[in-house]
Structure 1
Amino acid sequence: MRYEFTTTGEIVPVNDGENAAEANDSVAKNDDETWTAIGRTGNGFGDSYEINGIVTGFNASGNYEIRLDGAVVTVSEVVAPADHVVEIQTTEDPSELDYELTTTGEPIPCTGDTENAADDNDSIVRNDDDTWTIDGYTGNGYGDQYYFSGEIVDFGPVEPFAAVYVDGKQIDLSPFERSPDPATEIGGGSGYANTVPESDANYVVETLSELLTALDAAGRGDTVYVAGDATIDASPVTGSDRLTVPTGVTLASNRGIDGASGGQISTGVIDYEHLMGLSEDVRLTGLRISGPETGYREYGTPVSSGVTVEGAGCEIDNTELWGFNHAALKLRTSTHIHHCHIHDNPMGGLGYGIQCLDGDNTLIEYNRFNFNRHSVASGTGEAGYEVRYNHFGGTETPSYQVGTHQPGGTTLLIHHNTFTPLRHVGQHPEEPGTHVSIRGVPEDRGEIHHNWFYNPKQPSAGRGNEAVIQPHVESLTNLHFGNNHYGQNIPDGDVGCPRR
């Protein structure tokens, strides 16, 4: 018998065993990137192949039997009903993804006993422009599979734990990332939507003693509220761990409500581990938190930090932090930090706005940073983060704004940010100054795209003064770049942080 079949991925002849493919069989890659095998077999023998992708066509003459992974199948069972197969997966367990995927051709669910079969909770609709959209839900180590023809034209949401494979190959999702509403208030304050009113509070405090009493009494689900006109000097308890927000408690004030600045918690003490600690599932919102030292100086003790996140599941939003010569925020686990204004934490050698010490999934977005030595960095080189939709402002800064120490972090996603400081001041002055420094090599990957860098110099390995540098390597390693803009002229609207 003679046969011919075509697949979307490579066909590899199996050259051993009684059903080995032989010299009279051929495999070729076609101009459209598909693969075709043509062969002849008979007399009780057969030909075997390993295939990648899906089978899109099969023709044969005579009497024959097809086996797929050892099981006898029909032609209709082995030939896919479309040109491609797409699989939507989550890369973390536990994780859940409620997604939409749009194609130019009709998607057909892959059903059956496979763990990644499409489920009843997924739906497909035809759009007015004749595209098709899958509205699906997956997660917790599983996925959804569909056959389709044509192209994928949209997918969302793009999350760090979302992966899409076409014919077995993972595709780049960055073209599908959506820029947020330009009206989004970077840095919080006036215009920030998700404020907490005083009427939601279980405890309202104006003094240090009232604050300590409320934190001692509060439990999960409670809100402790610093009165909007209060300035609480926490110097007497700084460094004692007495100012610790318990598990599940929200510590809030009124920053941004009717133009309010927000209640303030401050310290005049420098030599301590931190002003405040956060337990698990804490929200810190609408406050001003300040330390005693805002000007640049070279490294030296004593040192101080503002807030240390000790527990998982914490959120810090709409908060202004400044005046800490070690770090305004120290993260010992993954944290969500958004719509904050973090500025004037500039000491040489330290001076972090946000210091990521551990955790692979910190999300830092919609913040405004000014005059920190490093606004975001993995101080240990062991953490991972996503930094997106932030504005790193001013004309000068002590050093690069975003980066990591060796060995290079885990997964580093840096996109849709604007970096304006062009001059480094302090111990190592330079102009133009570097914006991003990846010291070492990311364990997983580094993706740097859709950023607006005022520094006009393209990324480079080594320790130079380009917009992005990677010291300690001879060539850029495990870093991926795309759609960044270099220079002060205004780029397209989807590059840089949201702007009005």
Structure 2
Amino acid sequence: MASKDRHPEKSTRSTVSRRGYLRLGAVATVGVGTLAAVDEYTDTGSAGAVSTADPSPADSEIGGGAAYSNDVTESDATTTVSTGSGLKTALQNAGAGDVVWVDSGATIDMTGESNIEIPSGVTLASGRGIDGSQGALLHVDSGMNGESLFRSSYETGVRVTGIQLRGPFPGGYFDPPEDPDEPGYTEKESAGIFVYNTESSRTVEIDNCHLWGWTSGAVRLGANANGGTSCPTGTHVHHCSIHTNAMEHLGYGVDLLNGDQHLIEYCYFDLNRHCIDGFGNPENGYEARYNIVDDRTVSHAFDMHNWATNHGDRDVAGSTISIHHNTFRYTNEVEGEPDEYRDGGPQEYIKIREAPDDRCDIDNNWFQYKEKPPAGTTGGDQYAYTQTGVSSWTNMYESNNAFGPEEPAADIGAPRTGNGGGGGGTPDFEYNDDVTAVDASVDSHDKRSGLQLSVTNNFDSKLNITDVTIEPANAAIDELSDHSMEEGKWLSELYVDADIQDSAADINNGLSLPGSIDLRNDGHDDSDRRWAVFSPGSTGELYLYQFENDGSAVDMVGETVALTIDYYLDDGNSTTGSKTLSLSP
């Protein structure tokens, strides 16, 4: 299948695994169905004919809406507006700390407007999900000559939350008749929000928004360096419904032109050309987690371009990419009618178009209708992920993914339902996927032989950690031993820093691995023999020290440890549970 790429101003990474090699041998057998073409997605959309219905799941925090809890409310507003002119004036006059609130019942035609500046420190908000509201609807009904509706250039501390933004082509897949190099093409381009600044930290937040119908991208972030401007912007895009941004050559849900401090999480994606794409320069990367990619696509979902194809100075596909705990549902692309590029053929979920400068990790995802690439290949569009421009996997690492329609464990893929902490429609004890190997400097070696991670109690009652089981994947790691007679962080084999009650387990003569720790009976006679207790909604840290092989410290970078945490809830029902984490620092 031939495929056009993005136009030149915008516009494919593998030793396989240093984390045990990208294990490509065993291939699951799944049925690969055909995605039937849907008429409304083969025609150019018109704003007046398209529903404002939000396709994101109503019973999940993924995609935002009613289940989202971090709302800005009208009572927080500095200024309330209900018209386009009022909105522009309010933003022009706003300063850091102000909240410009758009009336939740307003529908505002913004056609003809572009590049409305959101100043530093300003929040633009409406009431999506509050008391049944969809939030204010701001719509544009014709092309924008390559501009964006909202822009925030060189600004920081900006937040856009609770708003609906509908672009000029909301009806489905749109393949403009013009070639990208022809004059009529640019006028079809449009973007919802374009933010770029030189802050690499996550100083921009876009959350709980419904974004669709944009041709360049619903959200565009950063500025590339090949024109002399380098803006490695950092952003947090989360709990948004981002769909039907499906223009050929462009069509991005989240378009990352520069910066590697981008976190995209708890978003619902459907019918984008790429849900997330990266420009490819060596400062470009992202972390994507807890997202759902639904069953319609125009091309592969998550992407990183080759910098050289975008006029960069070398073949590289970005910097650091982490794709974990996402669920991917489509099989084939939509079929254009007539169209020589979109023929309904298979599309991979993830495509990395050369070697990342650092690495790309693909972990704990649920690939519902794609197989694992077979050994000796670098994937292809019929498989879950692929790497192009290389002869073998280079700086690509994979672990603990699920392939096929059978539902995996709750900690693989995006949260099924509920508050985003776990599957099954109930709250959960959540691992925050932040394990770090640490040289605790309490011994004389330079090995990173300790592990540190955080967990969050998403239940509505107090949670007590009662037992912990530790099982390294590497059998040579045979002991956890702190060599200290004291108790506490890095002084015990296990230390849990919880908000209500901390706990330390100091094992006589160390713990043989694999092994389990009973926090109330660790074999030590000191007084710190108690469960760790977390209040509802609280986050705490776990510290494990130190991992050894025959008495010698082991550097844990690149190792994998299965950590099973047993817990008891103070909910009046004596509820117990268990959570197994795969730790791969």
TM-score under structure 1 length normalisation: 0.61
Deviation at 1:363?
0.2
What are the Cα deviations for residues 355-402 of structure 1, in whole angstroms up to 9, with x where unaligned? 1000011000000001000000103444100000000012x3111000
Structure 2 CA distance, aligned partners of 1:475 and 1:346? 31
The amino acid across from 1:498 in the alignment is P
* Equivalence for 1:277: 151
Structure 2 CA distance, aligned partners of 1:464 and 1:316? 31
* Equivalent pairs, count: 317
Structure 2 CA distance, aligned partners of 1:315 and 1:201? 17
* Equivalence for 2:175: 298
The amino acid across from 2:365 in the alignment is N
* Equivalence for 1:258: 131
> Is 1:185 aligned with 2:61?
yes
Tell me the secondary structure at the aligned position of residue 191 of structure 1. Answer: coil
The amino acid across from 1:370 in the alignment is D
The amino acid across from 1:486 in the alignment is F
Deviation at 1:298?
2.3
Tell me the secondary structure at the aligned position of residue 370 of structure 1. Answer: strand
The amino acid across from 2:175 in the alignment is E
1:379-458 matches, cutoff 5 A: 379-382=279-282, 383-394=284-295, 396-406=296-306, 407-426=316-335, 427-429=341-343, 431-458=345-372
The amino acid across from 2:68 in the alignment is Y
1:321 to 204, 211, 218: 211
The amino acid across from 1:419 in the alignment is F
Structure 1 CA distance, aligned partners of 2:104 and 2:343? 40
* Equivalence for 1:307: 193
The answer to whether the 8 A contact 1:433-1:455 is kept is: no
Structure 2 CA distance, aligned partners of 1:247 and 1:195? 20
Deviation at 1:484?
0.5
What are the Cα deviations for residues 18-63 of structure 1, in whole angstroms up to 9, with x where unaligned? xxxxxxxxxxxxxxxxxxxxxxxxxxxxxxxxxxxxxxxxxxxxxx
Deviation at 1:236?
3.0
Structure 2 CA distance, aligned partners of 1:236 and 1:438? 37
* Equivalence for 1:247: 120
The answer to whether the 8 A contact 2:279-2:318 is kept is: no
Larger RCO of the pair (alpha carbons < 8 Å, separation 6+): 2
The answer to whether the 8 A contact 1:462-1:472 is kept is: no
Deviation at 1:233?
1.6
Q: Where in structure 2 are there 5+ consecutive unaligned residues? A: 1-17, 21-58, 179-184, 223-232, 307-315, 336-340, 417-424, 426-585
The amino acid across from 2:358 in the alignment is D
* Equivalence for 1:498: 415
* Equivalence for 1:348: 248
Deviation at 1:479?
0.6
The amino acid across from 2:407 in the alignment is I
The answer to whether the 8 A contact 2:123-2:160 is kept is: yes
The answer to whether the 8 A contact 1:456-1:488 is kept is: no
Tell me the secondary structure at the aligned position of residue 214 of structure 1. Answer: helix
The amino acid across from 2:395 in the alignment is N
Change (3 A) 1:466 1:429: farther
The amino acid across from 1:452 in the alignment is W
Tell me the secondary structure at the aligned position of residue 268 of structure 1. Answer: coil
Tell me the secondary structure at the aligned position of residue 88 of structure 2. Answer: helix
The amino acid across from 1:447 in the alignment is D
* Equivalence for 2:111: 235
Change (3 A) 1:461 1:428: farther
* Equivalence for 2:539: none
Q: Bigger CA drift: 463-472 or 408-417?
A: 463-472
* Equivalence for 2:87: 211
The amino acid across from 1:274 in the alignment is S
* Equivalence for 2:165: 289
* Equivalence for 1:365: 265
1:47-62 matches, cutoff 5 A: none
The answer to whether the 8 A contact 2:139-2:165 is kept is: yes
Deviation at 1:285?
0.3
The amino acid across from 1:249 in the alignment is V
The answer to whether the 8 A contact 2:218-2:252 is kept is: yes
Change (3 A) 1:171 1:488: closer
Structure 2 CA distance, aligned partners of 1:444 and 1:385? 12
The answer to whether the 8 A contact 1:462-1:474 is kept is: no
Deviation at 1:433?
2.4
TM-score under structure 2 length normalisation: 0.52
Change (3 A) 1:442 1:380: closer
Tell me the secondary structure at the aligned position of residue 391 of structure 2. Answer: coil
Q: Percent identity, please.
A: 42
Q: Bigger CA drift: 203-212 or 308-317?
A: 308-317
Structure 2 CA distance, aligned partners of 1:438 and 1:386? 14
What are the Cα deviations for residues 250-277 of structure 1, in whole angstroms up to 9, with x where unaligned? 0000001012100122212312321111
* Equivalence for 1:224: 100
The amino acid across from 2:193 in the alignment is V
1:23-172 matches, cutoff 5 A: none
Structure 2 CA distance, aligned partners of 1:196 and 1:412? 31
The amino acid across from 1:306 in the alignment is G
Structure 2 CA distance, aligned partners of 1:497 and 1:401? 15
Structure 2 CA distance, aligned partners of 1:454 and 1:478? 25
Q: Bigger CA drift: 408-417 or 308-317?
A: 308-317
The amino acid across from 1:297 in the alignment is F
Change (3 A) 1:281 1:372: same
Structure 2 CA distance, aligned partners of 1:430 and 1:269? 28
Change (3 A) 1:212 1:362: same
Tell me the secondary structure at the aligned position of residue 397 of structure 1. Answer: coil
Tell me the secondary structure at the aligned position of residue 424 of structure 1. Answer: coil
The amino acid across from 1:255 in the alignment is R
Structure 2 CA distance, aligned partners of 1:400 and 1:244? 32
Structure 2 CA distance, aligned partners of 1:474 and 1:187? 38
2:393 to 476, 480, 490: 476
The answer to whether the 8 A contact 2:346-2:381 is kept is: no
What are the Cα deviations for residues 56-111 of structure 1, in whole angstroms up to 9, with x where unaligned? xxxxxxxxxxxxxxxxxxxxxxxxxxxxxxxxxxxxxxxxxxxxxxxxxxxxxxxx
Structure 2 CA distance, aligned partners of 1:380 and 1:330? 14
* Equivalence for 2:70: 194
Tell me the secondary structure at the aligned position of residue 195 of structure 1. Answer: coil
Structure 2 CA distance, aligned partners of 1:274 and 1:367? 21
Structure 2 CA distance, aligned partners of 1:497 and 1:290? 26
The structure having more radius of gyration, on CA atoms, is 1
The amino acid across from 1:412 in the alignment is I
> Is 1:489 aligned with 2:390?
no
The answer to whether the 8 A contact 1:309-1:330 is kept is: yes
The amino acid across from 1:373 in the alignment is R
Structure 1 CA distance, aligned partners of 2:379 and 2:391? 6
